[in-house]
Amino acid sequence: MTIPEPLRSPGRPRGGDSDCRDRLLAAAMSAFAGSGYEGASLRAIALAVGFDVSMVAHYFGSKAELWLAVVDEAAERMRAAHAEIAAKLYAPGVSAAQRLRQGVEFLFDQIASDPRLASLVLREASGEGERAVCVEERLIRPNLAFYRPLWEEAMREGVFGESDPVVAHAAMIGAIALLVSSRASIARLVGGEMDLARLREEFCRGVFGRAV
């Protein structure tokens, strides 16, 4: 697949058209996360929200451009989330341990809020083609750049196990994504309810113990 660069923009639709475009993006995210790029069908994506497949071409042009629009929309949401929490995670006068706990909880909540994104990223990052590079540049690197100073500070302060911050970051994301996607199975195994709040708390206990 050739990633179009820059993304052809059909312009921002008005009124109900904007809702149509957003619904197509949501359906496409589910399809690409669940079936991968090759397995996702434009017709099925359109039908999932009650549209003819011609609507995909109308708003996005091609499958490649639709995929890129999904990635770009996710990147924009990630930037907005980072801007919202940045002051708290890097606040002066607050211990590294406290900010580390907040950072891990925020990362958990980010992944839990839309597990499809983690599935899409992990699926594409396992490859070596243009889509893998695109996901790395638009999603993985910016996310790592946001969290890396916190991970490194926590390692220097001795409240986080010392390791390569890139590996630590990837391991954190992978572990959270697996826990969130396996929540129903985990609940059966523990023999009780396992909502996201409890799952997050148990994860943090496992990573930090009770001290953080």
Give me the CATH number covering residue 173. Answer: 1.10.357.10
Q: pLDDT under 50 in the chain at which residues?
A: 1-15, 211
pLDDT of 128 reads 86
Q: What is the pLDDT of residue 210?
A: 54
In a domain, 167, yes or no: yes
Any domain includes 199: yes
7-31 confidence digits (pLDDT tens): 333 333 333 567 899 999 999 999 9
* pLDDT at 55 (0 to 100): 92
Expressed as residue numbers, the domain containing 105 is: 70-208
* 59/42 Cα distance (integer angstroms): 12
Q: How far apart are CA 85 and CA 146, in angstroms?
A: 10
**Residue 156: inside a domain, yes or no?**
yes
Q: Which two structure tokens, joined as six digits, stand for 166?
A: 């890139």
Asked if residue 48 belongs to a domain, the reply is: no
pLDDT value at residue 8: 36
pLDDT for the residue numbered 74: 96
89 lies in a domain? yes
Q: Is 139 a domain residue?
A: yes
Which pLDDT value is given to residue 105?
95
Query: Is 24 domain-assigned?
Result: no
Answer whether 7's CB lies under 8 Å from 136's CB.
Answer: no
Question: Quick check: 187 and 206 in contact, CB under 8 A?
Answer: no
- Look at the chain and report how many structural domains it folds into: 1
